[in-house]
Amino acid sequence: MARIPKTERDEVLSATRQQLLDAAVVEFARNGFTRANINHISEAAGYSKGTIYNYFPSKQALMLALIGESSAKHFQYIADQVRQASDPAQRLARFYEAGFRFIEENPAHARFLITTLFSSGADLQAAMYFSYQPMFQFVAQEIVAPGVEQGVFRAVNPVDTATLLMTLYLGTGSNTDKDGKVYLDPRQVAEFALSALRRGDGASTVGGKQ
């Protein structure tokens, strides 16, 4: 029997793994970690029940892999849109616009990420927090810090402010209708954030500095 070339075999394995992850995000988004059924995931991907264990040794391992993939997809989508603008204020507006668009265009991924972030056990929440560090750092380093340096924003702490801006995004973005559309207009959310960052009257601060 002829052997399958290594590169071709690797491509098949990678494609199968991706199909399993695609099916898993739907199952976890619908049922959460505890109620999600591994066999349902294999069958939804078009494979036999035990196939998934050839790629992920446990439900926990599958969940962690999915957290990494979904958060990376989320971050890359937003970063690509934000980097098209150079002005810090425009970048902040694009952050919310792109973020809300991702939620609406990728409802299973968005529901999975938000549910895991707010409703999972401490270990999975810790994994989520770690996986979102690139996005926190991106907001701090490529939106807030340049805004402060250019005088567009007040002298705020970029890291603390990025945490608040991310919390605002995840909180407002999780509020969707039955069709997955975010209730709030991203422009309104961006303007709310900008008004706080631009405030120069000594009122309550963003990120712990006046």
How confident is the model at residue 3, as a pLDDT?
A: 52
> Tell me: the pLDDT tens digits for 158-183?
999 999 999 999 999 988 888 889 99
| The CATH number fitting domain 7-57, selected from 1.10.10.60, 3.30.70.3190, 3.40.50.11540, 1.10.150.20 | 1.10.10.60
Give the C-alpha separation, 52 to 144, whole Å: 42
Q: What are phi and psi of 182, to 5 degrees?
A: -70, 130
Domain with CATH 1.10.10.60 in the chain: 7-57
Average pLDDT over residues 185-199: 94
Answer yes or no: is pLDDT of 210 > 60: no
- When the pLDDT of each residue in the chain is averaged and rounded to a whole number, the result is 88
How confident is the model at residue 122, as a pLDDT?
A: 84
> Tell me: the pLDDT tens digits for 28-56?
999 988 899 999 999 999 998 788 999 99
DSSP for 84-138, written as a single string: T--SHHHHHHHHHHHHHHHHHH-HHHHHHHHHHHHHS-HHHHHHHHHHTHHHHHH
How confident is the model at residue 113, as a pLDDT?
A: 86
According to CATH, the topology of domain 63-198 is Tetracycline Repressor; domain 2 (1.10.357)
Domain with CATH 1.10.357.10 in the chain: 63-198
**pLDDT-wise least confident of 58-62, 93-97, 168-172, 174-178:** 174-178
